[in-house]
Structure 1
Amino acid sequence: MGKISLEKEKPLSEKRKDYVLMGLGNICRGDDGIGSFIAQNFRSDDWLVLDCGTTPENFTSLVKKAQPKYLVIVDAAQMNLEPGEFRVILPEKIDKFYLTTHNIPLSLFISYLDKWAEKIILIGIQPERMEGFQRTSKRLQDSARKIIEILNVKKFQELKELS
């Protein structure tokens, strides 16, 4: 017979996780919401998944508690690629390619999170359309599925870097 525990289990947000996903973006602006779209569709017990919308700074305490080995941040980025293509953006290139639909610059945000994550991977996805009140395009939804597959099996080496 199993043991009965009177100890209250910690909520998922308070447990240490080796992998944290932060999805960023404005779901009311078409493909700008792709990071949130990925967070909403990603399921894994190994990951703490955060749909941060346009205020990722509101989720820093959860990253601090988790102290992950890998923090993956996904957002739309203007990189002059074909819509739906995605790349890892290195820290020194963030300000050059990033859309600023967030309250603080992502370079500052990432340097702040660097204290609590062993490795930060920023994935940018080239948007197709970013008009107001549009759904995420089919092309980006297909890319989102590919990213989710890569993250589920933790094959980060399959992610190409932006040159």
Structure 2
Amino acid sequence: MSFDSDLKEFLTGFKKLIILGVGNELKSDDGVGPFIINKLIEENFEKDNVLLINSKTVPENYTGKIRKEQPSHVIIVDACLMGAQPGDIKIVDEKDFVNIGISTHSMSLSYFVKYLQKSMDFKIIFVGIEPETMDWGENPTLNVEKTAYDFINLLKGCVL
């Protein structure tokens, strides 16, 4: 299956979707999650059944808000070291990412997800985008930015 069809299948029948962007906006490609959230906000993508959260490097600060919203589906978007080509995008499902540390951040997203799952029932996927660089810089590299826009357009097609 392809990324596009996997994402469409995941989103089938969602009632309330939270898209959580994770990353450091001052470290080039590491900020791809927040970059995507900010672009979606600029395009008025947030609706009654879609909540966008730019968690930056502290997703754990949003557990209360996520639990209050009671989502049926959650997508976490972050730069992810997968040994792929810069800009490659992959869905890592819950069973896989809970068992491995794939995020570029020190706080394990698997603990974050396990904490949320103790009190809620929802579907979750992690969308990882391979970074080219995580040096200081305010914008993603061209390959990563192109992937970010491709993902945004795909989301629009799946959700709207």
Coarse TM-score class (shorter-chain normalised): 0.7 to 0.9
Q: How many Å apart are 1:97 and its aligned residue?
A: 5.2
Q: Which has the larger radius of gyration?
A: 1
Instruction: Name the structure 1 match of 2:12.
Output: none
> Counterpart of 1:58 in 2: which secondary structure?
helix
Instruction: Name the structure 1 match of 2:109.
Output: 106
Structure 1 residues 19 and 63 mapped into 2: Cα distance closer, same or farther (>3 Å)? same
CA distance in 2, matches of 1:21, 1:99: 16
Structure 1 residues 113 and 151 mapped into 2: Cα distance closer, same or farther (>3 Å)? farther
1:148 to 138, 152, 158: 152
The question of whether the paired residues in 2 share the 8 Å contact of 1:22 and 1:51 is answered with: yes
Higher helix share: 2
Instruction: Name the structure 2 match of 1:83.
Output: 86
CA distance in 1, matches of 2:32, 2:71: 23
Instruction: Name the structure 2 match of 1:61.
Output: 64
RMSD: 1.8
Instruction: Name the structure 1 match of 2:11.
Output: none
Instruction: Name the structure 2 match of 1:26.
Output: 24
Q: Deviations over 1:47-106 (max 9, x none)?
A: 10000000011111111111111111000001011111111113343354513424x211
TM-score where L is the length of structure 2: 0.78
Q: How many Å apart are 1:153 and its aligned residue?
A: 2.8
Q: How many Å apart are 1:134 and its aligned residue?
A: 4.7
The question of whether the paired residues in 2 share the 8 Å contact of 1:63 and 1:116 is answered with: no
Q: Deviations over 1:97-122 (max 9, x none)?
A: 513424x2111111122243510111
Segments of 4+ in structure 1 off by > 6 A? none
Instruction: Name the structure 1 match of 2:8.
Output: none
User: Structure 1: which 5+ runs fail to align?
Assistant: 1-16, 156-163
CA distance in 2, matches of 1:100, 1:85: 15
> Counterpart of 1:116 in 2: which secondary structure?
coil
CA distance in 1, matches of 2:94, 2:73: 15
CA distance in 2, matches of 1:117, 1:129: 36
Instruction: Name the structure 1 match of 2:75.
Output: 72
Same amino acid, percent of matched pairs: 31
Matched, 1:47 2:45: no
TM-score where L is the length of structure 1: 0.77
The question of whether the paired residues in 2 share the 8 Å contact of 1:74 and 1:122 is answered with: yes
Q: How many aligned positions are there?
A: 138
Instruction: Name the structure 2 match of 1:116.
Output: 120
Matched to 1:41, the amino acid is K
